[in-house]
Amino acid sequence: MVAKINVNPFIAYALKRFGIMVLTFSVALFLIFILPRMIPGNPLASTIFRLTQGGITSPEQLKATERMLLETFKLHEPLHIQFVDFISNLIRGNLGTSILFYPLSVANLIALYLPWTLLLIIPAVSLSWFIGNYIGVIAAMNRNKFVDKVVLTIFMVLQGIPPYVLGMYLILLLAVYIPIFPTGGGWPPGMVPRLSAEFVLAYLKHYILPFLSIFITSLGGWGLSMRSIAVQELASDYMEYTIRGVGLSQKKVVNYLFKCSALPQIVGLAIVLGWSVAGSVLTEIVFSYPGIGMIFWRGINAQDYPLIQGMFIIIIATLLLANYISELLFAYIDPRVRYAYVGA
Amino acid sequence: MISSTIIRLFRIKKFAVGLLILLAVLFIGIIGPAIYKVSPTRTVGGRYAPPGGKYPLGTDALGRDVLAQLLHGIRGSLYVGAIASAISLSLAIFLGTIAAVFGGLVDKIVMTLSEIFLLIPSILLMMLLAAYLPERSLWIVAVVIGITSWAGWCRGFRSRTLSILSSEFINLAILSGASRLNIIIRDIVPIIAPYVLAAFAMLFSYSIMAEVGLTLVGVGMTKDVTLGLMLYVAQIYANISQGIWWTIVPPSIMVTLIFLSLYMIATSIDELFSYR
């Protein structure tokens, strides 16, 4: 007989979701651990073979690489010892050493390049969230009128264009045919990142096109979902009251509507920002923007296993955490969610 | 009743336009390679010949005919979409209905499994798998996309099935001694059919986009020609910054058209059946 303890439903919900998050992370870690070891033909041996063919020429360097790979993956040990080692390294925050960027550790690389990715993603996504949602509300206010139809069509097309494709077109148009902006990179070659007016200006010039490609393509998704939320909201009694009864100005109604409909969109923003590290990979590749996605891509192309493995762990961890935060936010905003989970 | 529903569906302009675009793309992808008989993988001329004359869409970095690549690429991408969405849709329907009808432990297992698959981003799982398989054909990529994209739709099918299960005629079926599998096949699947259609359209476009994304990152296709592989080759040889538009614009327009048409079809099916 279990005594019925009265728990705060929010805490109960938070704990349950935390459990699911830990379980999911464990499954992901297990997959990351087992897959490279399960694939027939030992990918690590073939990596070493490929390295001897390409870049690395001196035998000392090859030996060092081989030793490092063995140290990271401990392939000569039995599987369970490998697993214990893998986990204990992880707990100590040791993600291994990159082959491609040899003396640098994976954790160092991430610390070095993550800020550039965040600098690109956070402003682009936040601004498109704000503007897209605002236009969505205006479209909902003018439902089935000309403005709404135009906005709806444009947003639908925008939603269909992936950011990297728009990026390619922007480069073709604004960097090749009308050479206003550089075709790629984060700053002119030879320049070192530092806080000077000269560098900031050069950086901004490289920044505008990738920023635009993410900003413009994410407008559609926000706008479309906001429009459908706001249309439902408009049909509710209190909105009827504010528009017909009180007779507020159009501008004020838009502001109220924005605030009332934005709650689910805030949760969406948390999820999208969590995706940013993984989601910006393609845009960064197209613009050869020096962020974490670019490093990841170079790691994949060079078969840099420690780097790939470390990146996967980091990306999945950020994603799960962002998802967890958005779930808590949602439960905090909407009490029905947490009560549904506790079953009270 | 069915025919009137179809007529109503065609009255939605968005649906008609979407279907028209999709049929045109399908037609090009299926008939195109049979009419324009140039190998997409053979070097036919010098590199970067501009469009016009002997090569209608020019040649790419390896001197291959871009039009032939495009036609075969559309076909390849459609294959990937069809295989991947068939796999993921059957998993979603099977697991979703089973979980709802059988309940109890089965339901718990399916729900936890789908929770994990929802949270682990499918594109990362695909990258992880693909990163360790050096040679990747169309089939491998399609199967990987298929087995990682079912979770969300599985939950959708489960909740639809649950709401059907609470209706009167299901009780009658149970009383008359129908087995649970029988109920799924005869009573539930026909009712959720429009939803299945919308899910198929969404999964199809998702799979095609996922293939392009994966290949562009360098963990997707390596053997068969798809739209993703065309963009990948263009990207690797830095065609954009050289202003060689003919290797980029045609495949990217095709990808966008396929996505848009399927999105239009899926949303109009959804609108029609949820506003009943």
Q: Tell me the per-residue pLDDT of B95-134, one tens digit each, with 9 for 90 and over.
A: 998 898 888 899 888 988 888 887 766 666 666 666 667 6
- CB pair distance less than 8 Å for A27 and B120: yes
pLDDT at A57: 58
Query: Is the separation of the CB atoms in A32 and B120 below 8 Å?
Result: no
pLDDT digits (tens, 9 = 90+) for A237-273: 777 777 767 777 777 777 777 777 777 788 788 778 7
What is the pLDDT averaged over residues A219-233? 86
pLDDT at B49: 77
- CB pair distance less than 8 Å for A31 and B125: yes
- CB pair distance less than 8 Å for A282 and B129: no
- Most distant CA pair in chain B: distance in Å? 74
Amino acid A9 reads P
Residue whose structure tokens are 């902006």: A181
pTM for this prediction: 0.81
* Residue B25 near chain A (CB below 8 Å): no
Q: Which residues pair with B55 in a beta bridge?
A: B52
C-alpha closest to that of B270 among B1, B3, B18 = B18
- What percent of chain B shows pLDDT beyond 90? 14
The least confident of B156-165, B196-205, B216-225 is B216-225
Mutation target to probe the B interface, by most B beta carbons within 10 A, among A99, A168, A303 is A168
C-alpha closest to that of A207 among A150, A326, A123 = A123
ipTM over 0.85: no
DSSP A186: S
pLDDT at A1: 46
- Compare CB distances from B119 to A31, A297, A320 and report the shortest one's residue: A320
* Residue A164 near chain B (CB below 8 Å): yes
- CB pair distance less than 8 Å for B129 and A28: no
Query: Which of residues 205 through 244 in chain A touch B, CB cutoff 8 A?
Result: none
Alpha-carbon distance of A284 to A163, in angstroms, equals 10
Residue A316 CA, distance from chain mean position: 10
The least confident of A85-94, A163-172, A185-194, B86-95 is A185-194
- Compare CB distances from B243 to A177, A319, A323 and report the shortest one's residue: A177
- Tell whether the model's pLDDT for residue A45 goes beyond 80: no
Q: How many CB atoms lie within 10 A of CB A12?
A: 17
Chain B residues whose beta carbon lies within 8 Å of the beta carbon of residue A27? 116, 120
Helix (H) or strand (E) holding A59: helix A59-73
- CB pair distance less than 8 Å for A297 and B131: no
- CB pair distance less than 8 Å for A156 and B263: yes
Residue whose structure tokens are 């390679």: B33
The larger pLDDT score, comparing residue B78 to residue A342, is at B78
**Cα distance from A172 to chain B (closest Cα, Å)?**
6
Buried-state track A128-158, b at ≥16 Cβ within 10 A, e below 16: bbeebbbbbbbbbbeeeeeebeebbeebbeb
Nearest residue in chain A measured CA to CA from B245: A172
Q: How sure is the predictor about B25, in pLDDT bands with cuts at 50, 70 and 90?
A: very high
How far lies A179's CA from each of A170, A183, A202, B231, B242, in Å?
A: 11, 9, 15, 22, 12
pLDDT at B80: 92
- CB pair distance less than 8 Å for A24 and B116: yes
Alpha-carbon distance of A248 to A253, in angstroms, equals 6
Mutation target to probe the B interface, by most B beta carbons within 10 A, among A18, A24, A325 is A24
pLDDT at B95: 92
How far lies A277's CA from each of A62, A281, B169, B213, in Å?
A: 32, 7, 49, 15
pLDDT digits (tens, 9 = 90+) for A269-286: 877 877 777 778 888 888
